[in-house]
Amino acid sequence: MTPVLLIRHGATAWNAAGRMQGRADIGLSAAGRAEVARWRLPPGWDGARWLVSPLCRARETAALLGAPAARVEPRLIEMDWGAWEGRTAAELRADAAAGLATEEARGLDLRPPGGESPREVQARLGALAAELALDPTPVVAVCHKGVIRAALALATGWDLRTRPPVRLRRDEALALLCSADGRLQLAPPPLPLVA
């Protein structure tokens, strides 16, 4: 099985405001750049292959972590939040027509209007995991919260309707193992990025 370390990008102004970013190509904030500058890979991940989402906040994070030439992997792009992009959960909850509560109750099948479901994110991650498993060299992937949540659900059977089985702080990475059939296995605990 191939070890994979999923790292969420550093903070953006939209993160600070609680806005759903989705596919909006928002760069890191000054605070986000300072935060990532303090991060270091956990022991044992030297020599890993690097992958990165195509969005600039992830690419900037990878560069700050010492991997400016990380391979861009489109399947690591954030979940598409469709019409909800740029809005906060509080705004959506106050707007009954938005249907947030109904969609949240659907768990893996939540689908923002014009967007993508976590189950669809899982499908692209499963295909990527099967490819990564062909080479046992560890992988470090800089991506997004929605991608990490979908991967965690794949690895644990979590249906996104309850609290996550693992709580990740922004300065922690999720370690997984990929198998050739596209399955993911959790390799706990979350690994700190701050030395």
Residues in contact with 76: Cβ distance below 8 Å, sequence separation at least 6, in sequence order: 51, 52, 53, 54, 58, 128, 141, 142, 143, 144, 147
Q: Can 144 be counted among the known catalytic residues?
A: no
The answer to whether 116 is a known catalytic residue is no
Q: How many CB atoms lie within 10 A of CB 109?
A: 13
Tell me the C-alpha distance between 145 and 163, whole Å. 15
Q: Which is catalytic among the residues 9, 60, 73, 172?
A: 9
Choosing from 60, 78, 103, 116, which is the catalytic residue? 78
Q: Which amino acid, one-letter code, is at 58? A: A
Beta-strand relationship, 71-72 and 191-192: unpaired
Cα separation of 192 and 171, whole Å?
6
* Residues recognised as catalytic: 9, 78
